[in-house]
Amino acid sequence: MSHGCENLNRQNTESDWPVIDKKPYFESDSIRLYFAESMEVLGSMQTVESSKFDAIITDPPYCSGADTKSGRDADPASKYCHGGNTCGRPSFAGDHRDSRSFEFWATMWLALARRHCKRSSYCLTFIDWRNLPLMVNIIQAAGFVHKGVCVWDKGRAARAPHKGYFRHQAEYIPWGTNGPVPKLSDRGPFDGVYQHPIRQADKHHITGKPTPLMRDLVKAAPIGGLIFDPFAGSGSTGVAAAIERRRAVLIEQSEEYCEIAAKRLDAAIRGEIMDRKT
């Protein structure tokens, strides 16, 4: 798929994009989605200063959702969907690692990705309560300066297993910067807590993130700036980037999810996504 009608009020030249030795699964003036394995892409991707990223905003497999090895090895559909009911959404691979291998693996891809980030660019990575401490370590081990933890409050609809339990109604977005935090004149300060309920009509992945939440987060990058999401799933980061006039490079290893993402990206670029906040 390819499009040519977007206007980001900036010059889009080839040198503004990282060189990736693969044909995009979906391509427009503002978004490039690759059907690929992230580490493979990161191992050979080339950037010059103008094609480096303004922000990494990503939602990797949490490798969480259970307290035992056999629980962690289970299909994400049973870990993350109540009663294993995915509501027709495909499952995904890569969610099986134990704590040590998760920390090692995530440090590798994030350190590789940081080499393609501008100075003072942002790194925002989703995680749940179980692996939050690991993700804070990972951000620092990859070379970013850890600056804080944003909270996504999903609301009280979040499931609690029984009475006497504090609801797991939040997920977390630890963040850091590639060097010093920028002092911006055109945007921010950004909120530290985001309240966005999950709406089924806006959920296209079994762990999909709400479009309004992603629209808030992509504003860390400047208009026309380049965002990297190496775990794109149903393309939520790219959809938000397209709506908010940012650009994005997305990677997703599941072809089923690339297809879902491509359709959403196409709709967002055409202005047809209904989750706009006015």
Residues that bind ligand SAM (CB under 6 A): 37-39, 59-61, 92-94, 205, 207-209, 231, 233-234, 236, 251-254, 257
CB nearer to ligand SAM: give 182 or 227. 227
Angstrom distance (rounded) from CA 247 to CA 178: 19
CB 207, min distance to ligand SAM, A: 4
CB of 38 to ligand SAM, least distance (A): 4
**Residue 22 burial (CB < 10 Å; 0-12/13-18/19+)?**
middle
Residue nearest to ligand SAM (CB): 233
Bond from prior residue into 189 cis (ω within 30 degrees of 0): yes
Q: Which is nearer to ligand SAM, 122 or 182 (CB)?
A: 122
The nearest distance, CB 2 to ligand SAM, in angstroms, is: 22
Pairing status of strand 193-195 against strand 226-229: unpaired
In the complex with ligand SAM, which residue's Cβ is closer, 8 or 112?
112
Q: Which is nearer to ligand SAM, 82 or 183 (CB)?
A: 82
Q: State which residue, 92 or 144, has the beta carbon closest to ligand SAM.
A: 92
Cβ closest to ligand SAM, residue 216 vs residue 252: 252
**CB-nearer residue toward ligand SAM: 209 or 247:** 209
* In the complex, least distance from residue 139 CB atom to ligand SAM, rounded to whole angstroms: 17
Do the strands 145-153 and 170-177 form a parallel or antiparallel pair, or are they unpaired?
Answer: antiparallel
Query: What are residue 152's DSSP bridge partners?
Result: 171, 194
Please list the alpha-helical segments (H only) found in the chain.
38-44, 69-73, 76-80, 99-114, 132-141, 211-217, 236-243, 255-269
Helix, strand or coil, per DSSP, at residue 193: strand
d(CA 218, CA 249): 13
φ, ψ for residue 13, nearest 5 deg? -120, 165
* Shortest distance, position 91 Cβ to ligand SAM, whole Å: 9
Adjacent-strand bridge partners of 251: 34
Q: Least distance (Å) from ligand SAM to the CB of residue 205? A: 3
Q: How far is the CB of 235 from ligand SAM (least distance, A)?
A: 6
| Alpha-carbon span 95 to 247, nearest angstrom | 27
For residue 201, the surrounding DSSP H or E stretch is none
Q: How many CB atoms lie within 10 A of CB 143?
A: 17
- CA-based max dimension of the chain: 57
